[in-house]
Structure 1
Amino acid sequence: MTRHQDDPLELLLNRLERPKKHGERYMAICPAHPDKSPSLSLTRGRDGRALVHCYAGCKTRDVLAAVGLELRDLFLDNLSHDQRQQYHRNTLEAERRFERLVIEAAKNKPDDLLDEDIHRLALAQERLGQLNHLLAEPSNQPEPHSPVLIEVALGDVMNATLGQVRHAIKPWIPRRHVTLFGGHGGIGKSSISLAIAAHVACGRQFAGLEVEKMPVLFVSLEDEASIVRLRLRRIIEAYQLPAVEVLDGLRLLDGTQTISALMTEGDNFNPQPVFTTAFRELETNVNDAGLIIIDNASDAFDANENSRRAVRAFVRGLAGLARQHDAAVVLLAHIDKSAARTNTNGNSYSGSTAWHNSARSRLALLDEGGRVVLRHEKANLSALAEPVQITFVDGVPMPYTPLQESELIVSDTDQAEMVRAIRAAQEAGVQVSASMSGPSTVIHALENLPEFGKQFRSKEGKKRAKAAILALIRTGRVVRVDYEDRHRNKRQRLELFELTQNCPTKAPINGVKAASDISPIPPSVTNAAQGACVSASDTTETAINATNASVRISDAVIRA
């Protein structure tokens, strides 16, 4: 520690690879990028600070972060207040000159700008406004001080009670607090959070959990509006939610058209994380929203995710928003890569532990041996909820509830009729397409059969039939089977998961060989030997695993 206080340059040199002295300066391998030859220049300033420059263009902050240091480590601990202020001002002025050059360059050739140039121009304009504001403030006057530590009266503490905690979804998402929703990229966080938003907007239960109906604000910083709109439509249709209620209670903010981070961090001395114009716009747009969902942290937080101070400030800012509006805030976050390989070990977030510590509730969407499971990993204000298995039906995430043995016979009339029609199709050698939309759907395959009742032939009847088939897929009564048609194109068809101990060999349908001619459940799903029979009594869950295994690649965008 003494060495650090006496010589910041010496501290930095000791952490770099192969530093060599050249006169008054040093050259070393830059730790912030793949560097085959030394490109990092280091020297000592007149006031004792360490001066750092990467000729490949790496930011000083990134260079220091790669060796476990921060910008403040470049300075002597006894640097005077005036010196610090002057350095701070010089840095801001240099940044302002650079952002002005970016804007001028864009003005000179407006027709030649690429998409990344337009994004950089928008960022330059935002930064220039911030820098002008900071430089306009008198440097010799202290900032207004507001109390940080507030004394609380204790005279009536013996009568103190804790008010009832309200939830958007109980106990997952408490109001007045931040809930962190982590998961690996592409596993379906965005779709599930949108399904949650739709259920809260219309007040319908989700995954058997109690829901409080309230206005919802969904902030999409990752997927553009057209994708979110399509997902929402499919969610409303699949869950049979009242569209008018959902759309009246849900608002969508699209932040994908420009740089829309809610917090950023400067490159000056000991930089403080700063909430951006986008955050102020979010504050203005909250209105009466009781649930605010932000997708996701990697786009909303443009700072060092490993910095405890920056992460804490960001989450506290969101918590302040929640308290101010009596709202629940859900922040989506990508899972840590190493945690993803080890099934998270309770660490379903990337970066500083402050992400976990600052959130009052934490959800995680995990892939557990081929099953997608939603787990409630942290709850400061309630008991933890039971994990919920998720299956995807045409890209739409659906909570799965295993059937009890006594419930395996379908009692619902519509579902029973669909079982009868699909069985008749199989016996007649008719391919039952697994598609729910397009020119060749399951309804097209069944409607020519006499077993397809008259009540399902109208427009509303076909909707009932489709809903019944979706329910059968969700419960594992009907499964998708991959096969190749006569042109060797890969297709999917629907088949009944017959509830029998016997496993007779099935004849190919119309001479087309299925992926498995023994059982509609692939042996790989049940860990059975190839060619072995699989019965329903082994486990109800095998059906849902088969359903999950057969989700089409084309649904990847919808379930991302």
Structure 2
Amino acid sequence: MKTSPRERVDAGLAAAALYKARTNAAPITEAEAAATSGNGHDTSERAVVLENQGRQALESVTLDLRELASPEPPPFVIPEWLPEGCVTLLTAHGAGGKSQLALYIAICLAAGRALFDQPAGRPRRVAVYSCEDSDHVLRWRISNYCKALDIEPAALAGMLHIINAGDLQAPELFVAGTGRDSTGEPAPSYGTLRGYMHAERIEVLIVDNASDTFAASEIARPVVRAFFRALQRLLPDKAGAVLLLGHVNRSASAGGIAGQDGQNYSGSTAWHNSARSRWELTRDRKGGGGSGSGADDDDEAGTDAPYILKRVKGNYAAEQRAGVSFHWNHVHRVILPVEQAGPLVQAIEQRNIEHQVLAAFAEAHETGQRISPAVTANNNAAAIFTSMGVGLPRRLRSMKALAPVLRRLQQRGFLTIEQYTDDGQRKTRQQWTLTENGFAEVRK
């Protein structure tokens, strides 16, 4: 079939592009391609060489079907969750727990601990490229996690690398290129990070986060794809994995909920399509007794809305809609999986809550407020504590949840029920009262 001169020029340029992709030779120009198009027969020696080498470039990336006898399944760093050789995207609201979860994952991987109900693997060399938190915050959180997980920090030396990129003058890893058709280019910090990863033999890179490291248009699909490919190239020998943290889109952020069908990532669909695996971290405000608003409450002020981590995309594993539950640990002040809170941690948390309740009873005693043991009374413990502004965890702000705590304190001899006469109606009523042991416990 006869082809037009334009088609022959395009074919020559395509062959040259393939050749350029596999070698360091200068690409053929459009003028050279046009000059050799003739009547459909390329006569220049260079055009023939380019065509042959372009064909060889295609052949070098063509699968040999004879090697399909016993193919191995795609490998994972975290089975079912973090596939090797590619980028996984984790999205959440701002202040939604991404950075804490990233540190938890990094520490567990470096220590060879189990994650997300999956078997523990060998210890991995992990680097966290953090652009958001200060040195003090990073050290404080890592110390808290080590205490919660019973890990000696010295055991992580050489395995866990925390890079505080926020202190760099230009932490960006990828920037917009010059020219109308540019798909962006790696920034100077990219080369520095790549050299560091190869020198330290880093196997897992966690980038916190996309908004600080991607300095280009997030809605330009070719640029986003180029960014993901650049992150993949950071991995030595394409082994290991990259976990990229990102924010939710504007509508999800305003509504405080995940987007429809889990599409709550910010930017174009290329962010979803380029990631081989994608996770979402949300807060179950309704289930945790919260308001359901998008604004994140201060966890240290007592909110107990659980964090839910879901795997909403997995090219090499099934979606996992049920999710893994995390909670704010009031003892260590970090988020941990619900099952991670062992008996010792649970006992400490219970003791702290009991002390807080006893302190509230002491304050009520000083202000002359009577607290009824009747669950349905208007002056029950939950109602009085709410009016006093006692900062109990939200899960304990109803009598259904608070009643077992009061019974336990009564059994331990810190609370007792006594009768009194209502001066106004001259009726005998009951109230909770701190015992001497209860007052002594408050003073500890």
Q: Counterpart amino acid of 2:308?
A: V
Select which of 247, 254, 265 maps to 1:349. Answer: 265
Aligned twin of 1:304 = 217
Q: Does the 8 A contact of 2:197 with 2:236 survive in 1?
A: no
Select which of 362, 370, 376 maps to 2:311. Answer: 376
SS in structure 1 at match of 2:245: strand
TM-aligned CA deviation for residue 304 of structure 1? 0.3
Aligned twin of 1:187 = 96
Aligned twin of 2:138 = 228
Q: Does the 8 A contact of 1:168 with 1:290 survive in 2?
A: no
1:400 equivalenced with 2:400 (yes/no)? no
TM-aligned CA deviation for residue 156 of structure 1? 0.8
SS in structure 1 at match of 2:85: coil
Q: Counterpart amino acid of 2:326?
A: I
Taking the aligned partners of 2:363 and 2:283, their CA distance within structure 1 comes to 34
Cα offsets for 1:155-204 (capped at 9, x unmatched): 4155251x243333222212212110110000110011001100111111
Aligned twin of 1:264 = 175
Taking the aligned partners of 2:248 and 2:99, their CA distance within structure 1 comes to 13
Aligned twin of 1:515 = 386
Aligned twin of 1:78 = none
TM-aligned CA deviation for residue 208 of structure 1? 3.0
1:203 equivalenced with 2:112 (yes/no)? yes
Aligned twin of 1:338 = 251
TM-aligned CA deviation for residue 322 of structure 1? 3.4
SS in structure 1 at match of 2:151: coil
Cα offsets for 1:489-526 (capped at 9, x unmatched): xxxxxxxxxxxx98999998xxxx73379x9988x758
Cα offsets for 1:449-481 (capped at 9, x unmatched): xxxxxxxxxxxxxxxxxx4644658xx996966
Q: 1:468 to 1:389 in 2, by over 3 A?
A: closer
Q: In terms of mean alpha carbon deviation, does 178-187 or 229-238 score higher?
A: 229-238
Q: Does the 8 A contact of 1:373 with 1:387 survive in 2?
A: yes
Taking the aligned partners of 2:348 and 2:144, their CA distance within structure 1 comes to 12
Q: 1:170 to 1:468 in 2, by over 3 A?
A: same
Taking the aligned partners of 2:184 and 2:245, their CA distance within structure 1 comes to 20
Q: Does the 8 A contact of 1:220 with 1:254 survive in 2?
A: yes
Taking the aligned partners of 2:76 and 2:111, their CA distance within structure 1 comes to 15
Taking the aligned partners of 1:336 and 1:198, their CA distance within structure 2 comes to 29
Q: Counterpart amino acid of 1:254?
A: N
Taking the aligned partners of 1:479 and 1:208, their CA distance within structure 2 comes to 33
1:357-372 pair list within 5 angstroms: 357-369=273-285, 370=290, 371=305, 372=307
TM-aligned CA deviation for residue 230 of structure 1? 1.6
Q: In percent, how many aligned pairs have the same letter?
A: 25
Q: 1:516 to 1:256 in 2, by over 3 A?
A: same
1:152 equivalenced with 2:62 (yes/no)? yes
TM-aligned CA deviation for residue 307 of structure 1? 0.5
Aligned twin of 2:233 = 320
Aligned twin of 1:215 = 125
Select which of 73, 76, 81 maps to 1:167. Answer: 76
SS in structure 2 at match of 1:284: helix
Q: Counterpart amino acid of 1:304?
A: S
Q: Does the 8 A contact of 2:132 with 2:166 survive in 1?
A: yes
What runs of 5+ residues in structure 2 fail to find an aligned partner? 1-25, 31-49, 291-304, 365-373, 406-444
SS in structure 2 at match of 1:383: coil
1:254 equivalenced with 2:167 (yes/no)? no
Q: Does the 8 A contact of 1:175 with 1:290 survive in 2?
A: no
Q: Counterpart amino acid of 1:383?
A: A
Select the structure with the greater relative contact order (CA < 8 A; seq sep ≥ 6).
2
SS in structure 1 at match of 2:258: coil
Aligned twin of 1:116 = none
Aligned twin of 2:324 = 388
Q: 1:481 to 1:359 in 2, by over 3 A?
A: farther
SS in structure 2 at match of 1:283: helix
Q: In terms of mean alpha carbon deviation, does 213-222 or 189-198 score higher?
A: 213-222
Taking the aligned partners of 1:504 and 1:533, their CA distance within structure 2 comes to 15
Cα offsets for 1:254-274 (capped at 9, x unmatched): 211212111101353333301
SS in structure 1 at match of 2:272: helix
Q: 1:157 to 1:347 in 2, by over 3 A?
A: same
SS in structure 2 at match of 1:514: helix
Q: 1:165 to 1:242 in 2, by over 3 A?
A: farther
1:291 equivalenced with 2:291 (yes/no)? no
Select which of 280, 294, 308 maps to 2:191. Answer: 280
Q: Does the 8 A contact of 2:202 with 2:235 survive in 1?
A: no
Q: 1:152 to 1:192 in 2, by over 3 A?
A: same
Q: 1:481 to 1:305 in 2, by over 3 A?
A: farther
Q: Counterpart amino acid of 1:278?
A: S
TM-aligned CA deviation for residue 313 of structure 1? 0.6
Q: TM-score, normalised by structure 1?
A: 0.49
TM-aligned CA deviation for residue 298 of structure 1? 0.4
1:9-48 pair list within 5 angstroms: none
SS in structure 2 at match of 1:391: strand
Taking the aligned partners of 1:472 and 1:204, their CA distance within structure 2 comes to 26
Taking the aligned partners of 2:88 and 2:178, their CA distance within structure 1 comes to 30
Taking the aligned partners of 2:154 and 2:379, their CA distance within structure 1 comes to 46
Taking the aligned partners of 1:217 and 1:271, their CA distance within structure 2 comes to 30
Select which of 87, 93, 110 maps to 1:178. Answer: 87
Aligned twin of 2:433 = none
1:130-145 pair list within 5 angstroms: none
Q: Counterpart amino acid of 2:89?
A: L
SS in structure 2 at match of 1:205: coil
1:404-423 pair list within 5 angstroms: 415=344
TM-aligned CA deviation for residue 234 of structure 1? 1.2
Taking the aligned partners of 2:150 and 2:91, their CA distance within structure 1 comes to 27
Taking the aligned partners of 1:347 and 1:301, their CA distance within structure 2 comes to 20
